[in-house]
A and B are shown apart, each in its own frame.
Chain A
């Protein structure tokens, strides 16, 4: 594990960190070493202890045992702010900035240039502009941060952190909501910062990105250190084995042979369906026992299509049919009544009711469908919860736990359970595997296939093309809020999808590369 020819000095040394929450041992004697100028990936399944480790290092949680040394000196920050002052900055997946304030105000929040007790707006903007230029951003710093894409918000958060003289930069799932191009921008900035001697901890579920950007990898599993390796000399299968602790065949881009089945009946069809300014009118047929993948860049109209199909959004033209009969889809209630289900991309804001228990979250859609006057008895609720907790392997298997306390993967399973309980005919899944660890990821993909074999019609959105190729019977490709191509059978592969996404030559090159 140790490299005696190690050229770079250790910047951040974490030794023997332990942390328990009640009876749960979240971290046990974990070591972690970050060198100056390196990009170090911190990997592990959900619940492996990555977030806890970060929070212990940055003082959000007090640690039970262990030391943290920064540049050889022991540090014990007692809050994220103290950690920042010590030189350890963290940027979380959900950017912790204020979308209603301007970019410049966000950058200089809490340390605005003042004169006579008055904020010097001009000076602040000038400095903000200069700072962001270093990061290759040329934007209007006076505009509210919320007007910009997540990528720019991330870069702003990073710029703020680095400008606060951070020596260690921790990026927790920074790329989860970025498209390919935005990821490139972020990676460029990360490399530039690493050259300046900043040590970067990169937490991600995207293994491709880990291989692309990181120098070394540390893997945690069940709160313990599994190992620390050089990225270049760690085969991908070996890495997955370290993360999962078991052999798992790497999913290749090849698609499973599933298209030799006879064509099924149409479950729902949409003709010339669309909404002005939202997504251009499209034709879409969804069949029982068939998975239709929606591919496209972020903002290409994937989510918009999904919301129209489910009835979360009202179409302003076109015809929808369910099992051959014309229907009007005005609100989610209509969708639910016709046997549609929708797992939205934003689990926290659009999916779970965090305060309610796993049981209550599971029965919610079924109860809404049955109506007020036909309440599910507590016995029926318990029975439903028990069945789905077991079937989907929801952990911890405690149906009375508030769902907000579960990990992302398990929350996703609860949402799936919510819809499966309604015995739907069509399920719309928007990024069902986003932000979910490798194990749960494979499981959800297996579930998608199983559900489909049971005769369900599925419409699935994913940014991971490999994934879409694996389970889709047909793939609809979107670009600029319009359906531009439909691939089926042998034509479904990553190269073809990329070619269809590419409005110009750029993505084609990416496809070939």
Chain B
């Protein structure tokens, strides 16, 4: 699994540590954990729990971005799949609910992949279609209402715990491991990176670049569906207007913080998820600090800027020169 964690994760880990330290300062109980009714509670668990939707989205998004694409529709796909899950929850068993929701995500991904890989549309435009239409579809499913449910199975998916750890966290971790195993355990990772790095050259080398692109959008759709189900399960209802709203931007941000270039090529799943956690740690910290949430956006921007500066080749070139100077000095 070493391939999952490249050498270049230092900036992200440092950033996370710094933010955690700041959180500890604004909220002294930040690292406290307690077990209650067989479930762990505490700010750290809260960060992980609330971070799952974006972490799941970033798992799909990072692959899409690695092929030099982008998927703006994930927030809308969350809304669609959340709406489907909520509508079916009280009348069908959990496997049926999950299959329907994930199947819908898969179809959404296929649609995006079809537009990009087969019709050759620019990803940003192609996925914009579903970003806009998707929310409409979700509203049609919920008939414009907030659909609530009480199915204990689905509620458990959002609020339950296994061995004390909330289920959403375990799902996200499972998806990270599954995605990592599929991508790095097969040749998919290399071929995705090659496709994103130089699609023409990869195609001439015999790589099925279309299939590769189709696959990442499908996976992105499935990840978004799962995030949508968890978000719905969490609030025991589906709000087509607000579910996953703007989360596509957080997912893209997480991927970028994770060091994957929007120009495609090299990607890291672990760092993308770490990016999602950095975002959520900040969000939670600001809430705990008692500052008005408006600050959240500003602070987010500053932290993103800092992480990106740490990654910038110019700056690291500068750091390299400084290091060399120090080394050459006796």
Is residue B120 within 8 Å, beta carbon to beta carbon, of the partner chain?
no
Mark the stretch among B97-105, B150-158, B203-211, B229-237 that contacts chain A: B203-211
**Cβ < 8 Å to A, chain B residues 175-222:** 185-188, 190-191, 193-194, 197-198, 200-208
A364 to B, closest residue via Cβ:
B205
Which residues of chain B come closer than 8 Å to A183, judged between CB atoms? none
- Is the Cβ of A350 less than 8 Å from the Cβ of B201? yes
Q: How many residues of B contact A (CB 8 A)?
A: 22
B70 to chain A, nearest CB (A): 18
- Is the Cβ of A364 less than 8 Å from the Cβ of B207? yes
Is residue A67 within 8 Å, beta carbon to beta carbon, of the partner chain?
no
A356 to B, closest residue via Cβ:
B197
Given A356-B197, A375-B185, the answer on whether A367 and B203 have CB atoms closer than 8 Å is no
Which residues of chain A come closer than 8 Å to B191, judged between CB atoms? 364, 367-368, 372
Given A312-B204, A352-B201, A364-B205, the answer on whether A370 and B324 have CB atoms closer than 8 Å is no
A368 to B, closest residue via Cβ:
B206
Is residue A508 within 8 Å, beta carbon to beta carbon, of the partner chain?
no
Which residues of chain A come closer than 8 Å to B186, judged between CB atoms? 372-373, 375
Which residues of chain B come closer than 8 Å to A342, judged between CB atoms? 204
Which residues of chain A come closer than 8 Å to B201, judged between CB atoms? 349-353
Q: Given A351, A356, A374, which contacts B187 in the complex, CB threshold below 8 Å?
A: A374
Is residue A280 within 8 Å, beta carbon to beta carbon, of the partner chain?
no
Q: In the bound complex, how far is the Cα of B205 from the Cα of A356, in angstroms?
A: 14
Q: How many residues of A contact B (CB 8 A)?
A: 34
Is residue A492 within 8 Å, beta carbon to beta carbon, of the partner chain?
no
Q: In the bound complex, how far is the Cα of B199 from the Cα of A351, in angstroms?
A: 10
Is residue B265 within 8 Å, beta carbon to beta carbon, of the partner chain?
yes
- Is the Cβ of B198 less than 8 Å from the Cβ of A336? no
Is residue B50 within 8 Å, beta carbon to beta carbon, of the partner chain?
no
Is residue A398 within 8 Å, beta carbon to beta carbon, of the partner chain?
no
- Is the Cβ of A352 less than 8 Å from the Cβ of B204? no
Q: Main SS of chain B's interface residues?
A: helix
Is residue A418 within 8 Å, beta carbon to beta carbon, of the partner chain?
yes
- Is the Cβ of B190 less than 8 Å from the Cβ of A352? no
Which residues of chain B come closer than 8 Å to A418, judged between CB atoms? 205
- Is the Cβ of B194 less than 8 Å from the Cβ of A360? yes
Q: Given A336, A337, A354, which contacts B205 in the complex, CB threshold below 8 Å?
A: A336
Q: Given A22, A344, A354, which contacts B204 in the complex, CB threshold below 8 Å?
A: A344
Which residues of chain B come closer than 8 Å to A352, judged between CB atoms? 198, 201
- Is the Cβ of A354 less than 8 Å from the Cβ of B187? no
- Is the Cβ of A368 less than 8 Å from the Cβ of B266? no
**Cβ < 8 Å to B, chain A residues 351-391:** 351-356, 360, 363-365, 367-376
Most A-side CB within 10 Å, residue of B185, B198, B206, B208:
B206
Is residue A229 within 8 Å, beta carbon to beta carbon, of the partner chain?
no
Which residues of chain B come closer than 8 Å to A281, judged between CB atoms? none
Q: Mark B264-298, 1 if CB is under 8 A from A, else 0.
A: 01100000000000000000000000000000000
Q: Mark A313-344, 1 if CB is under 8 A from B, else 0.
A: 00000000000000000011101110000101
Given A360-B194, A367-B190, A368-B191, the answer on whether A350 and B200 have CB atoms closer than 8 Å is yes
Given A372-B187, A375-B185, the answer on whether A332 and B205 have CB atoms closer than 8 Å is yes
A22 to B, closest residue via Cβ:
B324
Which residues of chain A come closer than 8 Å to B206, judged between CB atoms? 332-333, 335-337, 365, 368-369
Which residues of chain B come closer than 8 Å to A349, judged between CB atoms? 198, 200-201
- Is the Cβ of A353 less than 8 Å from the Cβ of B198? yes
Q: Given B193, B205, B265, B324, which contacts A368 in the complex, CB threshold below 8 Å?
A: B205
- Is the Cβ of A372 less than 8 Å from the Cβ of B194? no
- Is the Cβ of B190 less than 8 Å from the Cβ of A354? no
Which residues of chain B come closer than 8 Å to A371, judged between CB atoms? 187
Q: In the bound complex, how far is the Cα of B197 from the Cα of A201, in angstroms?
A: 35
Q: In the bound complex, how far is the Cα of B266 from the Cα of A274, in angstroms?
A: 38
B57 to chain A, nearest CB (A): 24
Which residues of chain A come closer than 8 Å to B205, judged between CB atoms? 332, 336, 364-365, 368, 418
Q: In the bound complex, how far is the Cα of B205 from the Cα of A351, in angstroms?
A: 8
B185 to chain A, nearest CB (A): 7
Which residues of chain A come closer than 8 Å to B203, judged between CB atoms? 331-332
Most A-side CB within 10 Å, residue of B193, B201, B202, B208:
B201
Q: Mark A286-302, 1 if CB is under 8 A from B, else 0.
A: 00000000000000000
Which residues of chain B come closer than 8 Å to A370, judged between CB atoms? 187
Given A336-B205, A336-B206, A342-B204, the answer on whether A353 and B187 have CB atoms closer than 8 Å is no
A333 to B, closest residue via Cβ:
B206
Which residues of chain B come closer than 8 Å to A373, judged between CB atoms? 186-187
Which residues of chain B come closer than 8 Å to A331, judged between CB atoms? 203
B197 to A, closest residue via Cβ:
A353
Q: In the bound complex, how far is the Cα of B266 from the Cα of A354, in angstroms?
A: 11
**17 new A-B contacts at CB < 8 Å, known A333-B208, A336-B205, A365-B206:** A22-B324, A331-B203, A333-B206, A337-B206, A353-B198, A354-B198, A355-B197, A356-B193, A360-B194, A364-B202, A365-B205, A367-B187, A368-B206, A368-B208, A372-B191, A375-B187, A376-B187
The 9 A-B residue pairs whose C-beta atoms are closest, nearest first, are A336-B206, A368-B206, A353-B197, A375-B187, A365-B205, A353-B198, A368-B207, A355-B265, A355-B197
Which A residues lie at the B interface, using CB under 8 A? 22, 310, 312, 331-333, 335-337, 342, 344, 349-356, 360, 363-365, 367-376, 418
Q: Can you identify 28 A-B contacts, CB atoms within 8 angstroms?
A: A22-B324, A333-B208, A335-B206, A336-B206, A349-B200, A350-B201, A350-B204, A351-B204, A353-B193, A353-B197, A353-B202, A355-B197, A355-B265, A356-B194, A360-B190, A363-B190, A365-B205, A365-B206, A368-B191, A368-B205, A368-B207, A369-B206, A370-B187, A372-B186, A373-B187, A374-B187, A375-B185, A376-B187
